Amino acid sequence: MCGIVGYTGRGRAAGILLRGLAALEYRGYDSAGIALSGTPLAVFKCGGRVSALAGMMPPSSAHAGIGHTRWATHGAPCAENAHPHLSFDGSLAIVHNGVIENCDELRAECTARGIPLASQTDSELAAHLLALDRGDIPERLFHLANRVKGAFTVLVLREGDDKVYAYKRGASLVVSSGKTGCYVASDVAALPPSCKEATVLSDGECAVLSPDGTFRTMTETGTPSGHVTVALSERGSSRGGCRMRAEMDETPSALLATFASFSSPFKGKAEVLARLRTCARVMLFGCGTAYHACLAGKGMIERVAGKPCEAYPAGEAEDIPFCGGDTLAVFVTQSGETADTLRAMEECKRRGAFTLAVTNCEGSTAAINADACLPLAAGAETAVAATKSYCCQVLALWLIAKSAEGSGGEKEAVLDLSAKCAEALKLRLPPELCLSPKLLFIGRGPDAVTAREGALKFKEVTWLPADAYPASELKHGPIALADSDCTVIAVLTDAGNVPRIRAAVNELRSRGAKVVVCSAAGDVGGDVTLPLPVTEECLLMPAVAVIPLQRLALECAEQLGRDPDKPRNLAKSVTVI
């Protein structure tokens, strides 16, 4: 959500900022804008895509600027609500990532001072209040941050000044020096290849970027911030074509990379392994697809590690019972910046739990704040709908469980899993079977989790409704939907569930529903059966069974003429609550 990029240096800022914003498109947005240095400041913004913004900008020789892609929280997605926002006197332009929780109070103050408001946003208020203050820009940023409640990550450009000013609280921000100048962005994906490392700003830290390619950081008290510097390598793929399809195809190699990461030293590894043996319970937290990985991991940890385990949607974890010093709390987040997950981590740390982040982004807030961090190392994932990262999260949680059990055999199981996922990538459910007015996904046990993830993927990229239920729940309500307009996709990976799934299939078909079965246990009487490859380790079957469902969602989206990489209303990194 809300991509931020800033630049100052010898290069032409407009082109650099547009390329940076294009690299941040995966985060999800509905409008875009750029402010360029000079007297006066030049602001260009529009509703819609970065390509539309590029088309409306005239040639510019400005050497400094700030840019933004907005995901609407306050006010409709349109040009007037897009960032950057100018202060009432035109002296400052700002871009903001976050939500100002006390915006009503600050809006009333601006109105009382006679300041006309040009948008419906909370962010515009920051520009006006900064302009009303006195002192240098960092000093004003510290003053305003003390007044603002909520996430407040902001860039500032001042009229007649080629410096870029940054302040970070809540939403992520990185600073780097490159070949032609200095860069700041919400994500390393926006940094050019000439940037070899990035400084991750800490909450409450301000940075001043100078056109000579240097930057300095500071805190309000003058104490060292303890920020982290990370080496930069992969920034995401520059290949054309559908990113969701490409990332699915990378699943077999990504799984091997996750295993290599787990097998290597990682932050807090020894303590994690020790806690697994001694903790009273394990708690798993995630949002969306990561939450589904937690649901799959719950069964693994209980069955393999022998520990009581609960999985929570991180956004619902404000009151966490039984969480304390005897708890291992695991936070699963692809980006490492998911706001709800970070808040749950903060609450668990407050209660004394040992915290482990499982994330694909080293240098992220989750990776830094957690006591331990297992990097997925799955490679950049920029399609909004998570695919390979889900499979790697499932594997990571299984590896954690196996490390507590200690029987070995992980390498052989992972090699087999990678091979079976490669086979699953060749499977296809015809989209025309599933573009029905009503679509249900069902399964039992771990397969019910796979059904949930399949339904979520379908909703995300097709924008069509789909539901998922445990197969045992059909007769308790959902079977009321079964008729000739209904298609049901059943997931079956455990032969022990054959009798119950066969019964469910018969009940659905007898009411006119069409049933498609993704099965690793033979034919159970569906209209269509898609045979699944079978893993040597049965608990890893969710990573295989989900792949045909991911492909189904992708191909249905394409058949409907929708871009699966950029589904409407969604963001890859959900940085607001």
Token pair belonging to 525: 């009487």
Is 572 a catalytic site residue?
yes
- 34: Cβ–Cβ under 8 A, 6 or more apart, which residues? 14, 17, 18, 21, 43, 44, 45, 53, 57, 65, 66, 67, 68, 84
Of these residues, 457, 514, 566, 572, which one is catalytic?
A: 572
User: 142 to each of 135, 145, 215, 222, how far by Cα in Å?
Assistant: 11, 5, 18, 12
User: 550 to each of 244, 395, 440, 545, how far by Cα in Å?
Assistant: 9, 17, 15, 9
Rounded to 5 degrees, φ, ψ at 388 are -65, -30
Question: Are the beta carbons of 439 and 462 closer than 8 angstroms?
Answer: no
Is 2 a catalytic site residue?
yes
At residue 92's C-alpha, the angle toward residues 89 and 98, to 5°, is 120
Of these residues, 2, 391, 392, 518, which one is catalytic?
A: 2
Task: Please count the other Cβ atoms lying within 10 Å of the Cβ belonging to residue 419.
Answer: 15
Residue 282 CA to residue 275 CA, distance in Å, equals 10
Question: Looking up tokens 């992969």, which residue turns up?
Answer: 234
Nearest partner of 356 among 396, 392, 413, 308, judged by Cα: 396
Question: Are the beta carbons of 168 and 142 closer than 8 angstroms?
Answer: no
Residue 169 CA to residue 171 CA, distance in Å, equals 6
Torsion, CA 177, CA 180, CA 184, CA 189, rounded to 10:
-90
Question: Are the beta carbons of 50 and 2 closer than 8 angstroms?
Answer: no
Residues acting as catalytic residues: 2, 572
